Structure 1
Amino acid sequence: AKQWKVPIEYKKIRETWKCNYGKDTYYRYRIQGGKYKVPDGGAVGKYGKDVRNKDGSGGYYKSPQSHRAWVARGSNFQLGKNRSVKWAGAVSAFGVKLGSSTQYDSDHKQRITAGNKSNARHDIWGKNDKVSGKPGVFYSF
């Protein structure tokens, strides 16, 4: 169980805030993950740090029972909405240089596929909530 790192192109967004019925205007800049962009001759994705210590029976039995679910043999489950962790590579955009980092994102997908070798189900659980809620990420056992 290793994290999967993907190259993401970031953009700098200027937000305008108006207060006091439009009399006061404030500006704020934020960095937002944009499109998936593979560098010339670069990897489309690569393995990150080992996260096996987050999966397994220890984490499962410590998790709240309300966060648990399971995946049937030979099927899969994918989290494609709500919030999840995304890894990004080094990029430079709009004069801002960013290194590898982790952030919460709303369009990241996490998928788990249960194998066919045993008759048992594959147990999963959400880190922060049930897998159908806002789990952040999910782990497996």
Structure 2
Amino acid sequence: MAYFEWADDLVIDGGPIDQDHRLLVDLVNELHTATSQGCGHAVIASILQRTVDSTRAHLTREEELMARKGFPDLEKHKQGHRAFLESLQGLQQRLNEGSITVAAQLSMVLRDWLSLHIRRNDKELLKFERLRQREQQRQRRTAALSKETQT
């Protein structure tokens, strides 16, 4: 059984955002498997670097999507992203200083951040998009009714 399982309540867009999230889930599971087999120290640097690289690319993609859609809480969302990247960079620094607990810390940080951030913060984009779609549908119906009464 995986350390962190993908679940339906993590789905945001059924596309690139979810693919990015799934990659991060795969990385945390890869790390957990390695540490469970006593190989965590041998793979942590590689997994941590891939996590940082994947996270940077994902956050850029997600923030650009939010900006395009006019997401109102973008700046607040970006602050959470920056804090997460800083925590990953802090783990890289501790690893470079010789810390032997980085693998376990990364595993927990990733699992907790992915679970909470996606389910709370990223879901706000989904809610915003659904509200926007409902408003557009309402406007179309109103316009159609108005057109009918004019004819």
Could you state the TM-score of these two structures normalised by the residue count of structure 1?
0.24
Q: Is the strand fraction higher in 1 or 2?
A: 1
Higher relative contact order (CA 8 A, sep 6+): 2
Higher alpha-carbon Rg: 2
Q: Is the helix fraction higher in 1 or 2?
A: 2
Could you state the TM-score of these two structures normalised by the residue count of structure 2?
0.23
